[in-house]
Amino acid sequence: MNVQIIKGTIKEILEIIRNLYNSDVCAIFLISENMDEDEKLEILEERLKRIQKKYDEENQSLTNPLSRYMELDKNSLKKVLDEIKILKFCFEEVQNSQAKNLPASGRFWDYSYDRRPFKWVIFKKVDKNIPILFEGLTAYSIRTGEEIFADNSTKINEYPSISHLQAVEKGISPPCKMVVFLHLKDPDNENKLIGLLKIENYEDREEEKAKFSEDSKQTEETRQYLPLLAKLVKKTREQYKEYSYENLYGGLKLLDALKSLTLGNTTEANNEIYRQTRHLFFVLKRNEYVGHEEIFERVINYAKDIAGDKILSVTGRKTFKMILEEYKKYEDLMLYGIKGYRDHFMHQFHVFVLGYIILNKIGMSKIVQSVNQSLKYVQDRSDPQVNFTEDNILRMWFLTAFYHDTAYILEKFNIGISGFLTRLFGQQVAFKIGGSQLLLIDDAKNSDKDKTGNYAEHLNNLLKYFDRGKQTNPDLLPYYLNSIIRMNDHAVYSALLLIQYFAGEGNIERLRECYIAALAISFHNSSIYEHLFENGRPGISFESFPFGFLLAFCDTAQIWGREESIGEQRVKEKRSRESHGRETNGTKENMGEQQYVKQKLLGVEFNKNEIICKVLFETSYPVQHPTPELIRAKIIQGKDSIFRSSTFRFTIEFYAGKSSENCKKILTIPFKYNGVK
């Protein structure tokens, strides 16, 4: 059964129950099963601070084990995480849209991506007869095993555990005045609670009091639905594994790499990116979002936040969220229509995160120094001098990673249209368009007042940023022109579009950021990188062009979770099948003799000055993984000899096998290293 169908069924049952009580809201809270230890620790620390504050206000003393928890440092507190559980709101609540006391927003529960409901801590070791101030009535019900029936606000406020936290601090909901908590039990173990059903009103309504009692006919009828709700919840958890981020994209090892970072003395923006990125992977690990569409939407919101005014302030002719949403729609059309087309939307996100981790491991100050050194060759004496900071570096890497494949659909456009026309007319139809028109200069449009669309000028300015005096080759222009005219290089087009959308008019700092990011983007396809020279040798160095090198490395290593064909082996899960609720390829029922390969990230390791990215070709058929020759030809494409470093070793290791525990290394690709061993 499809995940969305199950969710829809749960919502219908919640609405039936809400109507029985004529309540304002009906919702489900579940005990989290897949939460990362670090996230669990953060929630515990936050709740303990609130509880301690409440006890201080009331002049009361904490009892064990709470008093013991308060004395523990972070590392010691982590050792007692098995003594708690986390309870959180799940699925989607149903609300009475016709209520007389409905807020102006039209919603009783007015939460959003930016304003998320609180999570509750269940203290398993605290005696159920001992109340915990500010524990929250929802958590109290689970901890004590007591179902709650309160038909007025006075009864609710008699519970010492009450907090009204969602209402008072976040304004997500009004303070609760009438409530029923009914427990959901594990279908396979009735002694085990998996969560609860919450039915609540936000006014003391005399006419509804009888319904909010333990022996009411509404409560009796609702109990008949609880076993079905519990079974549906359990079914979603089974389905979530199949449609989880890890199963679809295999990138959860990035979370381990993130947790290994120590940022030290860095900027507020870097700290916030770290916090947001880690939180995103916490959410993905516990399967809060499942299926391609939900995961895409969450990643788009993540990118929107990073690009927003509170962090990187990436400004352009369109919002970054709008650009990503448009790109996703275009890619969906291409993904369904062209055989072998690989995912580029999630790919760009993964490239950003991988590169972000590497930048912080190497040290942001080193990158700042390298980029500022390169600016000496391109800064015009008439312009104000620019010295980049860590925030500039982060903004440039964000633009580089999230925009580097934006024009990939153009590279495949001729193929896609030709295929469509061939299928339509039943015979081979060739279709060809080129990009030479982009190089025409319309003097009327591109006056000094309006430089939009002047791609010839963009290209001319872009190549200035490759200048390193006599160190680099000066004859790259023909290769760029060839790529534009033939429309066969998405890297060059993506670079020009980045400048078009994000080069801030009159802001020399943002302009230079865009050109440096665009230059890096233009390097990552063979039509350009095969012709690069530095110091009289083929290729370029990490030290001179850190973004170009880093994009080439991350773009090459990031193969996990990409929908693609490798030889005759196909990735298991396809969006079209998921979207229509049909069985996915690779199940026992339809696998037959077909053999499948799925790529996963095994890990990112840092050993002194070495960065190793490990990738797994996961297959039940050991001999059916891509050969080293195919990996070199299709994935590496000679980049290991073009992009070199003299300070850090960059290596990609490829493994094959049934799982991360049962696999063997099949190929090691070190990017060229010129440093001291």
> Measured between alpha carbons, how far is 25 from 187 in angstroms, rounded to an integer?
25
Quick one: which of 271, 255, 258, 259 has its CA closest to 306? Answer: 271
Strands 672-673 and 643-645 come out as parallel
- What's the pLDDT at 306? 94
pTM beyond 0.95: the answer is no
The secondary structure of the chain in percent helix, strand, coil, rounded to multiples of 5, reads 50, 15, 35
> Is 673 in contact with 633 (CB distance < 8 Å)?
no
Instruction: Cite the DSSP H helix spans in 465-603.
Output: 477-486, 490-502, 508-523, 526-529, 546-557, 575-579
> Measured between alpha carbons, how far is 62 from 102 in angstroms, rounded to an integer?
39
Q: What is the DSSP letter of 279?
A: H
Quick one: which of 90, 198, 83 has its CA closest to 143? Answer: 83
Least confident of 150-164, 339-353, 414-428: 414-428
Task: Report the share of the chain in percent with pLDDT over 70.
Answer: 85
- What's the pLDDT at 268? 96
- What's the pLDDT at 642? 95
Quick one: which of 378, 376, 377, 356 has its CA closest to 367? Answer: 356
> Measured between alpha carbons, how far is 630 from 597 in angstroms, rounded to an integer?
14
State the chain's mean pLDDT as an integer: 85
Section 312-333 average pLDDT: 73
Tokens matching residue 173: 């909901």
> Measured between alpha carbons, how far is 230 from 278 in angstroms, rounded to an integer?
31
Residue 130 to residues 68, 171, 199: CA-CA distances in angstroms? 16, 29, 25
Q: Residue 436 pLDDT > 80, yes or no?
A: no
Least confident of 158-172, 234-248, 447-461: 447-461
Section 135-146 average pLDDT: 96
Q: Residue 257 pLDDT > 70, yes or no?
A: yes
Strands 178-186 and 189-201 come out as antiparallel
> Measured between alpha carbons, how far is 316 from 287 in angstroms, rounded to an integer?
33
> Measured between alpha carbons, how far is 106 from 277 in angstroms, rounded to an integer?
32
> Measured between alpha carbons, how far is 258 from 414 in angstroms, rounded to an integer?
40
> Is 312 in contact with 306 (CB distance < 8 Å)?
yes
Least confident of 433-437, 599-603, 639-643: 433-437
Using pLDDT thresholds of 50, 70 and 90, give the confidence band for residue 320: low
Least confident of 69-73, 209-213, 538-542, 575-579: 575-579
Instruction: Cite the DSSP H helix spans in 286-435.
Output: 291-307, 320-337, 345-362, 364-375, 390-403, 408-411, 413-425
**What are the beta bridge partners of residue 148?**
181
Section 199-228 average pLDDT: 96
Q: Residue 452 pLDDT > 80, yes or no?
A: no
Specify the higher pLDDT residue, 307 or 536. 307
Burial class (CB in 10 A: 0-12, 13-18, 19+), 488: middle
> Measured between alpha carbons, how far is 634 from 309 in angstroms, rounded to an integer?
39
Amino acid at 76: S
| 570 SS3 class | strand
Section 69-88 average pLDDT: 95
- What's the pLDDT at 578? 36
b/e sequence 7-44, b meaning 16+ C-beta within 10 Å: bebbbebbeebbebbebbbbbbbbbbeebbebbbbbbb
Q: Which residue matches tokens 């003299």?
A: 646
Q: What is the DSSP letter of 429?
A: -
Q: pLDDT tens digits, residue range 291-301?
A: 888 898 899 99
- Counts of helices then strands in the chain (DSSP H, E): 27, 17
- What's the pLDDT at 71? 94
> Measured between alpha carbons, how far is 186 from 296 in angstroms, rounded to an integer?
31
Using pLDDT thresholds of 50, 70 and 90, give the confidence band for residue 112: confident
| 498 SS3 class | helix
Section 545-559 average pLDDT: 96
Q: Which residue matches tokens 């009091």?
A: 209
Q: Residue 514 pLDDT > 90, yes or no?
A: yes
Q: Residue 66 pLDDT > 70, yes or no?
A: yes
> Is 120 in contact with 138 (CB distance < 8 Å)?
yes
- What's the pLDDT at 163? 86
> Measured between alpha carbons, how far is 245 from 613 in angstroms, rounded to an integer?
19
Question: First vs last Cα of the chain: how many Å apart?
Answer: 56
Domains annotated on the chain, with CATH: 3-235 (3.30.450.40), 245-673 (no CATH)
Section 246-258 average pLDDT: 95
> Is 390 in contact with 362 (CB distance < 8 Å)?
no
- What's the pLDDT at 656? 92
Quick one: which of 262, 246, 302, 312 has its CA closest to 279? Answer: 302
Q: What is the DSSP letter of 187?
A: T
- What's the pLDDT at 177? 94
Q: Residue 641 pLDDT > 50, yes or no?
A: yes
- What's the pLDDT at 619? 84
Our CA angle for 135, 16, 244, nearest 5°, is 65
b/e sequence 274-287, b meaning 16+ C-beta within 10 Å: beebbebbbbbbbb
> Is 174 in contact with 103 (CB distance < 8 Å)?
yes
> Is 164 in contact with 137 (CB distance < 8 Å)?
no
**What are the beta bridge partners of residue 672?**
644
Quick one: which of 192, 356, 179 has its CA closest to 278? Answer: 356
Using pLDDT thresholds of 50, 70 and 90, give the confidence band for residue 570: very low
Least confident of 212-221, 513-522, 619-628: 619-628
Q: Residue 566 pLDDT > 50, yes or no?
A: no
Task: Report the share of the chain in percent with pLDDT over 90.
Answer: 56
**What are the beta bridge partners of residue 613?**
604, 652
Using pLDDT thresholds of 50, 70 and 90, give the confidence band for residue 238: confident
- What's the pLDDT at 465? 86
Section 336-363 average pLDDT: 84
Q: Residue 590 pLDDT > 50, yes or no?
A: no
546 phi and psi angles, rounded to 5 deg: -60, -40
Q: What is the DSSP letter of 470?
A: B
Q: How many CA atoms lie within 13 A of 508 on its CB side?
A: 12
Strands 610-618 and 649-657 come out as parallel
Using pLDDT thresholds of 50, 70 and 90, give the confidence band for residue 502: confident
Q: What is the DSSP letter of 311?
A: T
Burial class (CB in 10 A: 0-12, 13-18, 19+), 506: exposed
